[in-house]
Structure 1
Amino acid sequence: MPVGGGDGDSLSFRMDDYPARIVVSPGAQPGMTAIGFEVLDERELERLVADVEKAGIKVTPGTEAEAADRRATGFVKFNDPGGNPVELFYGTVLDHVPVHTPLVSMFVTGDMGFGHAIVSAEDARTTFEFYVNVLGFIERNTMRSPGGTTWFMGCNPRHRPWGSCVHGRSSGTSPS
């Protein structure tokens, strides 16, 4: 469902009680500015920040203004090993106005979250291991092709064969 956002040049869309799940903004070149993952609370965020920093990745706290723009109580940002921008957040300010989609009736994600996203990386194996070993994702499926390996992972109960995944050429050997 289209919704108003803080930036007049961007398009924002809701699919459940959460604020805009997808924001499309003009940019100098195509790309993702962030993929966000909700954590339970401030303690879990602090634990994950420590784990991400232990993995050698610089984490930057979000400002109060940025958190307000995202309608979250707090968040941090960093780049995963593949260079993909990631945000971890907690304390979402929900919008309980019913969702009305123009083409689909009664589509809401409910407590299952957004669904899936694809992140790419030159060294997909390292990026995959970061999501599993540091952020706690669960490996669900693997697909190999001449173009590389795709790992399908999840961070919530939703399980779809094409769910969240990391794709790219793995610099090491194929997983056993």
Structure 2
Amino acid sequence: MTIGSLGYVGFKADDLDAWARFGTETLGMMPVDAPEGTLRFRIDAQAWRVCVEPGQENDIGFVGFEVAGPPELAALRERLVAAGVEISEPAPEHLKLRGVSGMFACHDPQGLLVEIYYGPTERREVPFVSPAGVSGFVTGEQGLGHVVLSAADIGAARAFYRDLLGFKLSDIIRMQITEEFGMDLEFYHCNPRHHTLALVPLPTPRRLNHFMLQVESLDDVGFALDRVASAKTPLMNTLGKHTNDHMVSFYAQTPSGFEVEFGWGARDIDESWRVVRHDKTSIWGHKRQG
């Protein structure tokens, strides 16, 4: 009884107008009705996947992890309670706000709000249409995409996400920052997506390093790269291909300062998968800018 996918994510931002433009015109997400003073975006049939709420944090505010149904939700709740994790049961109004059938919430070891739920609302009667012409985002059983989080205490983060929520190690990338200092980035999966979660063993000003959206064609990536240039959005990493998931992608700065990876072509986890390590993040490209 483990997490099935990353279902939704919420950000706290001090410039919602900039996010409204960035989310639709640059990333190609579809804006939808949202509670007053907030933004919501669709990338598929699900009623919403990305939420932006007002706040000075300019960081991730919450994550929603989906499970298959009531038995899986109950089993995961029981596991967390047995491990001493404090659980809260949201009021019916919160379930309605999120548009889910059942949920409980907790916090990860560094304080991030984690919502575990089943039964999200879908809007198949209103087809997803990208305002920027994106042909489609890769979601389904793979969920929204992935998030990369800082983990000041990597042992505690690993125990929470791996041992309690059930994420499985995909691989490790060794980043040798200087001759004296290096660190291991840990990548975790919960479905065929190579990684839904990655942990960076460092305290950083923002908890979120980046989130990732995967599209259905290489042309979608190229057109998005052109839109980034036209909007004068800071490009953080040039087009490149990763060593571990083989994603062809680029990184851009969001209006909140953290980054978004926009990519295509990642390989999937299958039954023959084995854990390996890499010494480089990319096979080619992904040159850091600025």
TM-score normalized by the length of structure 1: 0.86
Q: In the alignment, what sits opposite 2:32?
A: 3
Deviations 1:149-176 (A, max 9, x none): 321111121125xx42122239xxxxxx
Q: Summarize the alignment of residues 96-175 of structure 1 with structure 2, pairs less than 5 Å apart.
A: 96=124, 97-108=126-137, 109-145=139-175, 146=181, 148-159=183-194, 163-169=196-202
Q: Summarize the alignment of residues 39-78 of structure 1 with structure 2, pairs less than 5 Å apart.
A: 39-78=67-106
- Do structure 1's residue 81 and structure 2's residue 114 form an aligned pair? no
CA distance in 2, matches of 1:30, 1:105: 26
**One-letter amino acid of the counterpart of residue 123, structure 2:** D
CA distance in 1, matches of 2:76, 2:95: 18
Structure 2: 5+ residue stretches without partners: 1-29, 176-180, 204-290
Q: Any conservation in 2 of the 1:53–1:59 contact (CA below 8 Å)? A: yes
- Do structure 1's residue 27 and structure 2's residue 55 form an aligned pair? yes
Seq. identity, %: 32
Deviations 1:112-134 (A, max 9, x none): 21110122221012212221111
Q: Any conservation in 1 of the 2:141–2:191 contact (CA below 8 Å)? A: no
**One-letter amino acid of the counterpart of residue 162, structure 2:** V
**1:147 Cα deviation (Å)?**
6.2
Between Structure 1 and Structure 2, the one with more strand by share is: 2
CA distance in 1, matches of 2:148, 2:133: 23
CA distance in 1, matches of 2:93, 2:182: 41
Deviations 1:2-22 (A, max 9, x none): 1111x2211110111112110
Q: Any conservation in 2 of the 1:82–1:120 contact (CA below 8 Å)? A: no
CA distance in 2, matches of 1:14, 1:140: 28
Corresponding residue pairs, total = 168
* Runs of 4+ deviating beyond 6 Å: none
CA distance in 1, matches of 2:133, 2:110: 35
Q: Any conservation in 1 of the 2:150–2:202 contact (CA below 8 Å)? A: no
**One-letter amino acid of the counterpart of residue 130, structure 2:** T
**One-letter amino acid of the counterpart of residue 69, structure 1:** L
